[in-house]
Every structure is written in C-alpha cells, then in structure tokens.
C-alpha cells in the first residue's frame, strides 16, 4: 500500500515538473473550479480518488479503493472519454484480518456531447473490461448505455450520470449507477459538493440490491507552483440503504485532479 501512495505522489510530481514551464494562467481559480466540476468540459484531466469504505462485514472492516480516472476529450470536445482503473484492497468480510489486494475491472466510458437548451448532454456507452483479480470483480466483458446531463445556473454546476452494464456472455453483471451531483461555488475556487453514487445490483435479492448514500464534501482549486491547476476535494457519505454484508456503512472520499495544460484553457470552453 505504501508503494501505491508513492506512485500517486510521483505521478503528481512528474506532471507538475513536465508542464510547469508551459502553462499560461489564463483562467482564475473560480473559473477553473466550474470547468473541473463539469464532466463534459473540453478539458484533459487526471483524477486520482481515494475511497475508504468502513463498517463492512461481520467485523466492521474497511475497504480501500484507489481510482485512477484520466479524462481525455477528442474532436474539440465533441467526444469525451473517461477511463476508470480501480486498485482495491478488499477485506475478508468474515474475519477480523486478511485482505485481497489488486486491480478490479477497468471501465471505459465515451460520450458524444451536444446542447439541449441550457443543458449540455452526453450520450454514449460504457465498457467493462475483465481485468479484475479473482475476488475483486466480475472478470467478464460488460457493455451498456450511459447518459450524462449538466446545467450551470448561477453559482451552481449540477447534473446527473446514469448507466447500466450487462454481461456480454452471461448474466453475471447487471448493474445500475445513478450519480446526481450538485456543486455550489464560493469565492477563490472553493466549493461545496455532493455527488452520491446510487447503485443497484439487479442480480441480487430486492432487500440486498440497493446502495443509497447521503453526504457532502468540500473542494478547492489552486495552482501548484502558481501554474499547474489542481482540484482537491474530500467528502463523507452515509449509506442509508446498503447490502447487509458487503455494503459499507460510511464512505470517505479524498481526491486530487490535475487539470492538464492544453489549448482548452480559454474562456468559453467550459
């Protein structure tokens, strides 16, 4: 686990060193915060999110998930891709010690973006790659539709992401995700945020199907070395509904997103 934390720190340092000479600080921290909150913004970014899920299993164990989630736009922002690479430390839910550590299934989502009135929407698909270590994922190919919509009234940036993934060759995966997000922007790139990820495993029994979290967090955009924009945030969520054994009671999230220097750092690209 220590090696993983050193890897995160090394990645941040490498990108900062590589680009520190080329970034033009054209946007304020407030403007960058609003762009970073928009999943359909024409902006390349590298989020690294750490998730600590507590109160699992018979002995209140803690699961750790580190998501590496690069976002890369194409065709001048008409196509947005997001890769999610999860590294998991999964505790033994029936014992007080012991865990399985490794990569889970990788997900790739691609959206075609367009506008609908005041909203920006993305229509696309999600692919589940069978990359998981045994016990850390379905280890099967999966595919499904994905939809996201964003509006930006006043100081708010808000919207919702919905997808459902089915197994290609069996019925092992049938998973729904609904993530509503609301960000309220304060001065100096600071913002309040809530983004609960509601999930349903349609293969599970009805009383063990849903995970419904409630919570919020705080975020801040600053410029590392006065040049490289970084978005940091943390939050806490309580699961008011969860699977009896495998669900967490609380989830604590801490992350940093590197907003990479491109020609996208111009007003009007949010």
Q: From first to last of its 270 residues, what are the pLDDT tens digits of the chain?
A: 555 555 555 555 555 544 544 444 578 899 999 999 999 999 999 999 999 999 999 989 999 999 999 999 999 899 999 999 999 999 999 988 999 999 999 999 999 999 999 999 999 999 999 999 999 999 999 999 999 999 999 999 999 999 999 999 898 999 999 999 999 999 999 999 999 999 999 999 998 999 999 999 999 999 988 888 999 999 999 999 999 888 999 999 999 999 985 544 455 556
266 occurs within a structural domain? no
CA distances from 99 to 130, 136, 161 (A): 21, 11, 31
Residues of the domain holding 119: 2-259
Q: Give the helix/strand (H/E) hosting 10.
A: helix 2-19
Query: Vertex 128, ends 116 and 54: CA angle to 5°?
Result: 95
Q: 187 exposed, middle or buried (CB, 10 Å; 0-12, 13-18, 19+)?
A: exposed
CB 82 within 8 A of CB 109: yes
25 occurs within a structural domain? yes
Q: CA 235, CA 81: separation in Å to the nearest integer? A: 25
CATH of the domain at 49: 2.40.160.40
268 occurs within a structural domain? no
264 occurs within a structural domain? no
Number of Cβ within 10 Å of residue 117's Cβ equals 7
Q: Give the helix/strand (H/E) hosting 201.
A: strand 197-201
- pTM of the full predicted structure? 0.87
Total of domains in the chain: 1
């Amino acid at each position: 686990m220590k090696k993983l934390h050193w890897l995160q720190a090394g990645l941040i340092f490498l990108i900062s060193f590589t680009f520190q000479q080329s970034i033009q600080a054209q946007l304020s921290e407030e403007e960058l915060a609003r762009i970073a909150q928009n999943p359909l913004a024409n902006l390349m970014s590298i989020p690294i999110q750490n998730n600590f899920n507590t109160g699992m299993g018979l002995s209140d164990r803690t699961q750790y998930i580190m998501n590496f989630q690069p976002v890369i736009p194409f065709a001048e922002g008409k196509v947005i891709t997001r890769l999610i690479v999860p590294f998991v430390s999964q505790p033994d839910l029936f014992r007080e010690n012991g865990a399985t550590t490794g990569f889970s299934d990788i997900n790739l989502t691609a959206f075609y973006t367009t506008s609908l009135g005041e909203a920006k929407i993305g229509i696309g698909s999600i692919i589940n790659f069978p990359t998981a270590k045994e016990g850390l994922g379905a280890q099967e190919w999966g595919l499904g539709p994905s939809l996201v919509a964003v509006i930006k009234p006043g100081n708010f940036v808000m919207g919702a992401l919905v997808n459902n993934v089915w197994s290609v060759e069996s019925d092992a995966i049938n998973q729904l995700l609904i993530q509503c997000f609301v960000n309220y922007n304060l001065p100096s790139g600071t913002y309040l945020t809530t983004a609960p990820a509601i999930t349903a495993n349609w293969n599970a029994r009805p009383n063990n199907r849903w995970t419904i979290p409630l919570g919020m967090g705080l975020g801040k955009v600053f410029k590392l070395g006065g040049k490289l924009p970084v978005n940091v945030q943390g939050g806490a969520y309580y699961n008011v509904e969860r699977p009896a054994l495998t669900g967490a009671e609380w989830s604590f999230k801490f992350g940093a997103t590197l907003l990479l220097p491109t020609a996208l750092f111009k007003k009007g690209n949010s």
